[in-house]
Amino acid sequence: MATYARINVTLMMAMMIALAISLYSASASPEGEFVHKTISSHKIVIFSKTYCPYCKRAKAVFKELNQVPFVVELDERDDGSKIQDILTNIIGKRTVPQVFINGKHLGGSDDTVEAYESGLLAKLLGIEKKDYDDL
């Protein structure tokens, strides 16, 4: 029951974040515009760092679902720190990964795994939920 309550809170936050992205992008820097366009242009976006085990875990979820996310590896970009600052302003967290589905913030690694295990992620992606192994 607690998992569903957390998912509902996450979905409510996603709506607020979508609004924040729209408001923020109106006066955004080039990095802010990149974040907004990236999130709105791709079905699945993961802001990640190549060495982060939590990022690897989140990416593994989508691999298990045979989905290919658009991954922004912040540690491989000259503007990665600025992009991470923008994400912090939008979602209130500086941690990675940060996962967006259909333009809405899903959360980090734990949120992604919970959504996967509950079937919510499959629903958000419009794919059939199967009995996948736990990650």
Whether 135 is covered by a domain: the verdict is no
* pLDDT at res. 5: 65
Q: How many domains does the chain have?
A: 1
Which CATH number does the domain housing residue 33 bear?
Answer: 3.40.30.10
Whether 133 is covered by a domain: the verdict is no
Whether 130 is covered by a domain: the verdict is no
pTM listed for this prediction: 0.78
Give yes or no for residue 20 having a pLDDT over 70.
no
Higher pLDDT, 24 or 2: 2
pLDDT tens digits along 91-106: 999 999 999 999 999 9
Whether 88 is covered by a domain: the verdict is yes
**Domain containing residue 78:** 2-125
pLDDT tens digits along 46-99: 999 999 999 999 999 999 999 999 999 999 999 999 999 999 999 999 999 999
Whether 33 is covered by a domain: the verdict is yes
What is the distance between the alpha carbons of residues 79 and 97, in angstroms, rounded to a whole number? 17
Whether 131 is covered by a domain: the verdict is no
